[in-house]
């Protein structure tokens, strides 16, 4: 497995594989890789013949009060993990390579970026859409893999690809969790022992929502209230930023659970902000004649 650092190098490497008839896969990351990222790489390997993992800590998706400066950086360790997961190439461009002097073009996906995480992270999804669009232009993958944990990000990328007619298939991989149910995230390492002990409350609240729907509860507001109560009890060190139930496709709030809906939440602990989500689905009764 090789590492390339420039746009010219990545284009040359990918072009050589295309000449051999290879299907190109891309897994965009910001580094600090964990088992969740490894699962994305393994899925990309099943969906393509030649897997590129980009490692780029994108400053454009961090706000002025966010954790860019302390975000973990370990290119050597990340590269070793990519190799073990089956990646064929690591693309690790510099900030100046992605955003050269005078850069002033951005990609904005409207509508999907108005609620959920966007409310507290203005400009975040513009930074995400811009860098992913650039990576797609540089690597020109046939398929790109993203994680369900960042459900809003995945929805934004899918909309961008559709709206801009980008020739790339978007695959969303299931959330990978720790043994206690906490969704794997690079930011989990920031948590203090006390915060880490309370962090599984996010998963517990999502499981509560599923149980309530299974019991016949349909009111989104009522379910959200029960989830918030649980979070207040089980994660007193955290501040609930949002608990929302939205349409699975357009991310607009729903009032009743009729069919599929996405329940998403964010809790801000003193050391890290955590997010999680799951899909709720009302099970329709089976007709007596079926």
Its pTM stands at: 0.93
For residue 200, the domain's CATH number is 3.30.1300.10
Domain enclosing residue 192, as ranges = 186-277
Quick one: which of 172, 151, 185 has its CA closest to 36?
185
Domain contains 246: yes
> What is the number of domains present in the chain?
2
Same domain (yes/no): 214, 142: no
Helix (H) and strand (E) counts in the chain = 9, 9
Same domain (yes/no): 234, 272: yes
Measured CA to CA, the distance from residue 188 to residue 178 in angstroms comes to 10
Contact between 204 and 226 (Cβ < 8 Å): no
Report which DSSP code applies to 200: T
Domain contains 288: no
Q: What phi and psi, each to the nearest 5 degrees, are found at residue 127?
A: -65, -40
Confidence category of residue 68, pLDDT binned at 50, 70, 90: confident
Q: Which two tokens stand for residue 17?
A: 């594989």
Give strand pairing partners of 267.
240, 274
Report which DSSP code applies to 183: B
- Among residues 2, 34, 37, 204, the one annotated as catalytic is 37
Per-residue pLDDT at 63: 84
Same domain (yes/no): 96, 192: no
Count of C-beta atoms within a 10 Å radius of residue 110: 8
Domain contains 141: yes
**Residue 66, pLDDT above cutoff 90:** no
Domain contains 179: no
For residue 98, the domain's CATH number is 3.40.50.620
Catalytic-residue membership of 2: no
DSSP 247-271: ETTT--B-SB--SEEEEEEEEE-SS
Per-residue pLDDT at 148: 97
Same domain (yes/no): 16, 136: yes
Per-residue pLDDT at 259: 87
Domain end, chosen from 143, 173, 203, is at 173
């Amino acid at each position: 497995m090789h590492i390339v650092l420039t746009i010219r190098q990545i284009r040359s490497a990918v072009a050589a594989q295309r000449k051999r008839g290879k299907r190109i896969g891309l897994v965009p990351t910001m580094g600090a890789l964990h088992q969740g990222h490894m699962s994305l790489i393994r899925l990309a390997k099943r969906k393509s013949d030649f897997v590129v993992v980009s490692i780029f800590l994108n400053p454009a998706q961090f706000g002025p009060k966010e954790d860019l400066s302390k975000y973990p950086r370990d290119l050597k360790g990340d590269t070793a993990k990519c190799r073990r997961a089956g990646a064929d190439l690591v693309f690790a461009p510099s900030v100046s390579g992605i955003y050269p002097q005078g850069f002033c073009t951005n990609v904005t996906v409207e509508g999907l970026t108005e609620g959920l995480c966007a409310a507290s992270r203005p400009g975040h999804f513009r930074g995400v859409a811009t860098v992913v669009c650039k990576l797609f232009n540089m690597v020109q993958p046939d398929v790109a893999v993203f994680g369900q944990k960042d459900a809003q990000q995945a929805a934004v990328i899918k909309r961008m690809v559709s709206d801009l007619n980008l020739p790339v298939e978007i695959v969303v991989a299931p959330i990978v969790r720790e043994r206690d149910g906490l969704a794997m995230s690079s930011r989990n390492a920031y948590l203090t022992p006390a915060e880490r002990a309370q962090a599984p409350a996010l998963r517990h609240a999502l499981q509560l929502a599923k149980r309530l729907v299974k019991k016949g509860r349909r009111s989104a507001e009522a379910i959200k209230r029960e989830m918030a109560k649980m979070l207040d009890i089980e994660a007193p060190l955290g501040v609930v930023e949002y608990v929302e139930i939205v349409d699975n496709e357009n991310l607009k709030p729903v009032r009743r659970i009729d069919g599929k809906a996405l329940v998403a939440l964010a809790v801000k602990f003193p050391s890290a902000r955590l997010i999680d989500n799951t899909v709720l689905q009302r099970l329709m009764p089976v007709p007596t004649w079926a």
